[in-house]
């Protein structure tokens, strides 16, 4: 944050967030041999899976946090997703993230509506299909979108202390590993604070959430912690999902066990993705996503599961 901003008296939520981010006096240092062994095990497994991808005639398998959850969920839905259409509610998330990214580098008083208006203009100018949708949205869609995006930016400013540049805040940072080969693990963190220094784990990775907490949110953050570890060689010290609607964070210390669990889940997802490329029939696995799945009317296991749920709810 710029020095031009006036000193602030923090509200209780901002104080709590600051407390969550605080470093303990004892430095967090991971055993470099253990990290090197985790890295080389993961690299070997990915090399092996990469050979199978090439043998199956595919060029690249690209895995993000969303695609990991998708392939570990219902494989049929993973391979046959619903066609995607932008709506004001969906676009509001992307616009708000872009506005928060601008806020991190903004000098002077950050006014949420100004940040959102700037974010919309920049997304229209950037390549990508959200820009086309934003450029052509109706006035009513724009009003709904701006309202929802401003709400998120306001909640962010109410929940986080002003991001002093000494915190080393970075918004929307891309992560990718390995650097080459047919398998790409990729992600983009909403906000990071701090960086690894002198062998010490100092970075905190934060995902900003609206709505409620889902079990896979922590898995998503562990995946980012794993990518950061592969990229830098030093893990982050914490990951946190910050739930803007309630002004609360769910925080987890990064440990070698959480990194191993992330590596295991990532390889499980990759293994399934590669099997599907090799021609295995996708499994239909009924779950919460059956409720909005476009195949639910003709999918036997999905229909049976939905009927069971409806009976249970009555
Ligand atoms: S209805 Fe459920 S089980 Fe069937 S394809 Fe969709 S998500 Fe999978």
Q: Which residues line ligand 1 (CB under 6 A)?
A: 74, 76-77, 284-286, 289-290, 293, 295-296, 299, 301-302
Q: Which has more confidence, 71 or 314?
A: 71
Q: Atom 7 of ligand 1 has which residue's CA nearest to it? A: 290
Question: Residue 5's pLDDT band (boundaries 50, 70, 90)?
Answer: low
What is the C-alpha separation between 26 and 50, in angstroms, rounded?
40
**CA separation (Å) from 129 to 85, 91, 123, 172, 248?**
10, 11, 9, 18, 32
User: Mind listing the pLDDT tens digit for each residue in 138-194?
Assistant: 999 999 999 999 999 999 999 999 888 888 999 999 999 999 999 999 999 999 999
User: Mind listing the pLDDT tens digit for each residue in 30-57?
Assistant: 999 999 999 999 999 999 999 999 999 8
Domain residue limits, the chain: 12-83+166-277, 88-163, 286-314
Q: What pLDDT shows up at residue 128?
A: 74
Q: What pLDDT shows up at residue 166?
A: 86
Burial call 218-250: b when 16+ CB within 10 Å, e when fewer: bbbbbbbbbbbbbeeebbbbbbbbbbbeebbbb
| Span 228-250, average pLDDT | 93
CA of 91 to the centre of ligand 1 (A): 26
Share of the chain above pLDDT 90, in %: 75
Report which ligand 1 atom has the smallest distance to the Cα of 300. 4
Phi then psi for 53, rounded to 5 degrees?
A: -60, -45
Ligand 1 pocket test: pick from 71, 72, 74, 282 the residue with the most ligand atoms within 8 Å of its Cβ. 74
Q: What pLDDT shows up at residue 156?
A: 95
Q: What pLDDT shows up at residue 3?
A: 44
What is the C-alpha separation between 267 and 265, in angstroms, rounded?
6
Q: What pLDDT shows up at residue 6?
A: 54
Angle of helix 129-136 versus helix 88-105 axis, rounded to 10: 110
Across the chain, mean pLDDT equals 92
What is the C-alpha separation between 76 and 133, in angstroms, rounded?
28
Ranking 111-115, 222-226, 302-306, 308-312 by mean pLDDT, the lowest is: 308-312
The tokens for 48 are 């092996």
What is the C-alpha separation between 181 and 287, in angstroms, rounded?
33
First to last CA, the chain: 52
Q: What pLDDT shows up at residue 127?
A: 78
Q: Atom 2 of ligand 1 has which residue's CA nearest to it? A: 290
pTM, whole model, 2 decimals?
A: 0.91
Question: Residue 2's pLDDT band (boundaries 50, 70, 90)?
Answer: very low
What is the C-alpha separation between 272 and 264, in angstroms, rounded?
12
CA of 226 to the centre of ligand 1 (A): 30
Residue 4 in this model has a pLDDT that exceeds 70: no
Report which ligand 1 atom has the smallest distance to the Cα of 76. 5
User: Mind listing the pLDDT tens digit for each residue in 280-299?
Assistant: 999 999 998 899 899 999 99
CA of 124 to the centre of ligand 1 (A): 35
Question: Residue 214's pLDDT band (boundaries 50, 70, 90)?
Answer: confident
What is the C-alpha separation between 207 and 201, in angstroms, rounded?
18
Ligand 1 pocket test: pick from 73, 79, 294, 299 the residue with the most ligand atoms within 8 Å of its Cβ. 299
| Span 185-214, average pLDDT | 91
CA of 301 to the centre of ligand 1 (A): 7
């Amino acid at each position: 944050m710029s020095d031009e901003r006036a000193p602030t008296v923090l509200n209780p939520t901002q104080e709590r967030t600051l407390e969550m981010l605080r470093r303990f006096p004892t430095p967090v240092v991971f055993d470099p041999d253990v990290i090197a062994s985790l890295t080389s095990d993961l690299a070997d497994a990915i090399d092996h899976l990469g050979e199978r991808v090439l043998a199956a005639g595919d060029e690249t398998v690209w895995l993000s946090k969303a695609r990991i959850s998708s392939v570990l969920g219902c494989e049929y839905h993973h391979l046959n997703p619903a066609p995607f259409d932008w709506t004001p509610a969906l676009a509001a998330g992307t616009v708000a993230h872009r506005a928060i990214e601008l806020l991190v580098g903004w000098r002077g008083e950050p006014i949420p509506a100004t940040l959102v208006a700037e974010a919309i203009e920049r997304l229209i100018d950037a390549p990508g299909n959200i820009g086309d949708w934003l450029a052509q949205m109706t006035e009513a869609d724009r009003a709904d979108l701006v309202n929802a995006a401003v709400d998120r930016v306001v909640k962010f400013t109410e929940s986080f202390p002003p991001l002093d540049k000494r915190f080393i805040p970075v918004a929307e940072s891309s992560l990718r590993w390995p650097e080459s080969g047919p398998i790409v693990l990729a992600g983009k963190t909403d906000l990071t604070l701090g960086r690894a220094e002198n062998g010490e784990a100092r970075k905190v990775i934060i995902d900003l959430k609206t709505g409620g907490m889902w079990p896979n949110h922590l898995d998503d953050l562990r995946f980012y912690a794993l990518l950061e570890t592969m990229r830098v060689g030093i893990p982050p010290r914490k990951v946190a999902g910050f739930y803007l609607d309630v002004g609360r964070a769910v925080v987890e210390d990064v440990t070698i066990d959480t990194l191993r669990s992330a590596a295991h889940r990532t390889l499980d997802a990759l293994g399934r993705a590669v099997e599907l490329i090799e021609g295995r029939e996708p499994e239909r696995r009924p779950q919460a996503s059956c409720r909005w799945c476009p195949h639910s009317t003709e999918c036997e296991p999905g229909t049976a599961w939905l009927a069971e749920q409806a009976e249970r709810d009555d």
